[in-house]
A and B are shown apart, each in its own frame.
Chain A
Amino acid sequence: MAIIVDKHTKPGLSLHGLGVICGLTAAVWLGAAEAPTKLVTAGFSPFAISSAMVCGVFLSRWTFPTLLKGTAYVFADLADKKHLIIWALLAGVLWAEGNTLTVFAIRDVGLTVAFPLWNANSLIGLLWGRVLFCELKGANRSNIAKVVLGALAIALAAIMLGFSTVHAGVGQHAMRGVIAAIGAAFCFGTMYVPYRKAYLSGMNPLSFVTAFTVGELTTVLALTLALDHGMHSSAIQLFHQPGLLFWLFLGGCMWVVGDLFQQFAAKYVGIGRGIPLSNTNQLWGLAWGALVFGELAGASHERMLMVIGGSAVMILGALAISTAVASEQEQHATDEVVMRECERYELDHQKVVLSQQGDELDRGAGARRWWDYVIVFVSTAIFIWLGVRAVVPPLQMNLHWLAVLTGILLLALAAGAYYLGKRTHFE
């Protein structure tokens, strides 16, 4: 109990505050990750784009944990909680399935119909958080209202922003597309169950994503081969074009940075609060599309109203969730869930509780090995090799806004990394 008391009295930034910062930083980076992929305009299949991006993700997912903690730390953490490896692989499979289902949904009903449906993932995450991990249990009415209404507001705002940017018609197989979009929402919303499970058991998010990405890459490549003309897939052709590949790898790398912060948000504020916060990425995606790529040029008065209204509703939703600090009763419910995990999987309760606060007993474990430097060097070299061959297509871009949004991106990264490093040493 002394440890739990310490958790609430530790000076400095609160864990709730840290989780909110991580969720908002995740949104900035996840929203920007789409921007480089806009530069790949040639007619590749969505499977090809997705698999190339996931290869960039795989490369980055091994680089960042190695850079921050070293592989010895990551493998020691995985070995210590080996029952979570299957959960991480399963989460990767769910992401890949959800992503492929969005491809089907867009093809059959267009983004306007598909997007609102799969964006319901945050509400599904909220449901699983409550049912499986007792999130919001014991919370006062004000906090429940803030989280539920905040999540609904963010989902509604994302729909408004989605409608403002896309104008695709409904295809021939409307019902099939709707089913695919609902399936994607379930896959994405359920993917957060393993996330939360891992963090309640004291696993470091950096270790979790290292295993997660194996399930993700394997499933994406298998689905590309199975559903996109096998060895004749345009993905094969894409991998022979380093000039284009760089942009997809860059998008994947930026997505990884966003996802890492999303993982820390899920750890420190739970999935009910963390997912809606990171889902505000739609706002940043729109900012990049509208301000840098001029996607709203000549937009009607109605569309502009939808953009302004959607942005305002999203900010209000994020504000509501950010101020819903978990009460003592809610913390107690979480402590009971942690105790259940410790009993079931024979985990060291003291270590797990400390890990919940971003502190670890064996922080010194896992010194860097020579192969850590090799991993970082090889992945950096691949990015540089692709980067010098990158071809910028003749797209009109507003360089002023490109500089402003890149500045915000770096500022968010610096702030997020500073607070995460200072408060938890990335744990």
Chain B
Amino acid sequence: MKARKAAVAVLTDAQFLVPFLVAIAGAALLVFLH
């Protein structure tokens, strides 16, 4: 699978949203707590 096609498949994968959003929330929480 070509890298570009793979990137699109990952970014449109609903399962990817869960860890991605938790990682963003975790980073925001760290900045807030700091």
Q: Are B25 and A94 in contact (CB under 8 A)?
A: no
Q: Which residues of B contact A94 (CB under 8 A)?
A: 19, 22-23, 26
| Least distance between B34 CB and chain A CB atoms (Å) | 5
| Least distance between A105 CB and chain B CB atoms (Å) | 9
Interface members, chain A 64-94 (any B CB < 8 Å): 82-83, 86-87, 90-91, 93-94
| Least distance between B28 CB and chain A CB atoms (Å) | 10
Q: Are A87 and B19 in contact (CB under 8 A)?
A: yes
Bound Cα distance A186, B7 (Å): 25
A94-B23, A97-B30, A346-B1 known; A82 and B6 CB under 8 Å? Answer: yes
Q: Could you give, for residues 32-65 of chain A, a 1 whenever the CB lies within 8 Å of some chain B CB and a 0 otherwise?
A: 0000000000000000000000000000000000
Q: Which residues of A contact B7 (CB under 8 A)?
A: 83
Given A180-B33, A187-B23, 16 new contacts (CB under 8 A): A82-B6, A87-B10, A87-B16, A97-B23, A104-B30, A104-B33, A128-B18, A179-B33, A180-B29, A187-B22, A187-B26, A193-B18, A197-B15, A344-B9, A344-B13, A345-B9
| Least distance between A221 CB and chain B CB atoms (Å) | 14
Q: Are B27 and A90 in contact (CB under 8 A)?
A: no
In the complex, the chain B residue whose C-beta lies closest to that of A107 is: B33
Q: Are B22 and A86 in contact (CB under 8 A)?
A: no
| Least distance between B29 CB and chain A CB atoms (Å) | 5
Q: Are B26 and A186 in contact (CB under 8 A)?
A: yes
| Least distance between A324 CB and chain B CB atoms (Å) | 24
Residues of A within 8 A of B (CB): 82-83, 86-87, 90-91, 93-94, 97-98, 100-101, 104, 128, 132, 176, 179-180, 183, 186-187, 190-191, 193-194, 197, 223, 226-227, 344-346
Residues of B within 8 A of A (CB): 1, 3, 6-7, 9-10, 13, 15-16, 18-20, 22-23, 25-27, 29-30, 33-34
A100-B30, A101-B30, A344-B13 known; A190 and B18 CB under 8 Å? Answer: yes
In the complex, the chain B residue whose C-beta lies closest to that of A94 is: B23
Q: A interface, by DSSP: helix, strand, loop or mixed?
A: helix
Bound Cα distance A180, B3 (Å): 36
Question: Which of A82, A190, A197, A227 is within 8 Å of B34, CB to CB?
Answer: A227
Bound Cα distance A100, B28 (Å): 13
Question: Which of B9, B18, B30 is within 8 Å of A83, CB to CB?
Answer: B9
Q: Which residues of B contact A183 (CB under 8 A)?
A: 25-26, 29
In the complex, the chain B residue whose C-beta lies closest to that of A186 is: B22
A–B Cβ pairs within 8 angstroms, 11 of them: A82-B1, A94-B23, A97-B29, A97-B30, A176-B33, A180-B29, A183-B25, A190-B18, A226-B34, A344-B13, A345-B9
The 7 closest A-B pairs by CB, nearest first: A97-B26, A83-B6, A190-B22, A183-B29, A346-B1, A187-B26, A193-B19
Q: Which residues of B contact A104 (CB under 8 A)?
A: 30, 33
Bound Cα distance A179, B16 (Å): 24
| Least distance between B32 CB and chain A CB atoms (Å) | 9
Bound Cα distance A90, B22 (Å): 10
Q: Are B33 and A345 in contact (CB under 8 A)?
A: no
Question: Which of A91, A97, A176, A346 is within 8 Å of B27, CB to CB?
Answer: A97
Q: Which residues of A contact B26 (CB under 8 A)?
A: 93-94, 97-98, 101, 183, 186-187
In the complex, the chain A residue whose C-beta lies closest to that of B28 is: A183
Q: Which residues of A contact B20 (CB under 8 A)?
A: 90
A82-B1, A345-B1, A345-B6 known; A223 and B19 CB under 8 Å? Answer: no
| Least distance between A86 CB and chain B CB atoms (Å) | 6
Q: Which residues of B contact A179 (CB under 8 A)?
A: 29, 33
Question: Which of B1, B6, B15, B23 is within 8 Å of A93, CB to CB?
Answer: B23
Q: Are B30 and A223 in contact (CB under 8 A)?
A: yes
Bound Cα distance A176, B9 (Å): 37
Question: Which of B1, B16, B19 is within 8 Å of A191, CB to CB?
Answer: B19
Bound Cα distance A194, B20 (Å): 10
| Least distance between B30 CB and chain A CB atoms (Å) | 6
Q: Which residues of B contact A346 (CB under 8 A)?
A: 1
A100-B30, A101-B30, A132-B18 known; A86 and B23 CB under 8 Å? Answer: no
In the complex, the chain A residue whose C-beta lies closest to that of B18 is: A193
Question: Which of A100, A194, A226 is within 8 Å of B19, CB to CB?
Answer: A194
